[in-house]
């Protein structure tokens, strides 16, 4: 469900921001729809690419010891053998501490292959699109953008509260802190959109 926790709020807040900024600008209704549709679609692609990169992992950091290539780079920097040995020892110690922490917290490491990473990226993109649709929907249903903007604000705050309740349950975090944090994020996005609208109006 990490795909949901990442994709959904990003889509919700991005489209909330862009629709609120652009609804008050001197642009045609068609231009409004075109611009925000492209932002919605391009944003989903960017999120999918980012999620794929994160999910497939970074093989460079799979090694818990100093690789021969890294040792050679350090030697080329005229670093003494004793310091290189200390670095290698610290890397091994950090790796051991990390493994111990994972065992204590009962965390299962998953090694993603490109296919699995691609599936997760696509799911993240779908959740992004779903989240982005919610603040966009009032504008699609009502071309009176002032009224639609009020509806979009109400939807975003309501949905963010529901999202916070779901996230707190999924992650075992406190409900009041989670709700307050996400409501403040949404309020900050609204304030930023309002300021941007005033600047470009």
| 53/128 same-domain check | yes
Torsion of CA 38, 42, 43, 46, to 10 degrees: -170
| 33/129 same-domain check | yes
**What global pTM score does this model have?**
0.73
List the domain range (segments joined by +) for residue 65. Answer: 60-111
> What are the pLDDT digits (tens) for 81-117?
788 778 878 878 877 777 777 676 555 556 657 778 7
| 33/106 same-domain check | no
- Boundary (domain end) residue, out of 48, 82, 111: 111
Q: Match 């009041």 to its residue by tokens.
A: 176
Contact assessment for residue 125 and residue 52, using Cβ atoms and an 8 Å cutoff:
no
pLDDT, position 66 = 67
Contact assessment for residue 110 and residue 57, using Cβ atoms and an 8 Å cutoff:
no
| 161/191 same-domain check | yes
User: For all residues of the chain together, what is the average pLDDT?
Assistant: 85
| 128/195 same-domain check | yes
Percent of the chain whose pLDDT exceeds 90? 52
| 82/128 same-domain check | no
Is residue 132 over pLDDT 70? Answer: yes
**DSSP states of 7-53:** HHHHHHHHHHHHHHHHHTSS--HHHHHHHHHHHHHHHHHHHHHHHHH
| 142/176 same-domain check | yes
Q: How many domains is the chain partitioned into structurally?
A: 2
pLDDT category at 61 given cuts 50, 70, 90 is: very low
| 189/125 same-domain check | yes
| 193/123 same-domain check | yes
| 97/44 same-domain check | no
Is residue 129 over pLDDT 80? Answer: yes
């Amino acid at each position: 469900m990490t795909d949901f926790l990442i994709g959904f709020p990003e889509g919700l807040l991005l489209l909330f921001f862009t629709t609120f900024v652009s609804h008050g600008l001197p642009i045609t209704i068609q231009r409004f729809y075109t611009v925000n549709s492209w932002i919605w679609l391009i944003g989903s692609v960017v999120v999918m690419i980012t999620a794929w990169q994160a999910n497939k992992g970074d093989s460079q950091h799979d090694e818990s010891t100093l690789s021969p290539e890294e040792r050679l780079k350090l030697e080329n920097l005229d670093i003494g053998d004793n310091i290189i040995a200390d670095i290698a020892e610290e890397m091994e110690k950090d790796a051991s501490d990390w493994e111990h922490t994972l065992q204590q917290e009962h965390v299962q490491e998953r090694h993603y292959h490109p296919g699995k990473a691609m599936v997760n990226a696509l799911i993240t993109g779908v959740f992004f699109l779903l989240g982005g649709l919610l603040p966009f929907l009032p504008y699609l249903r009502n071309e009176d953008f002032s009224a639609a903007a009020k509806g979009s604000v109400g939807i975003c705050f309501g949905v963010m509260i529901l999202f916070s309740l779901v996230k707190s349950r999924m992650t075992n975090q406190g409900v009041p802190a989670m709700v307050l944090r996400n409501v403040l994020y949404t309020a900050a996005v609204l304030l930023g959109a309002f300021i941007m609208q005033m600047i470009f109006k």
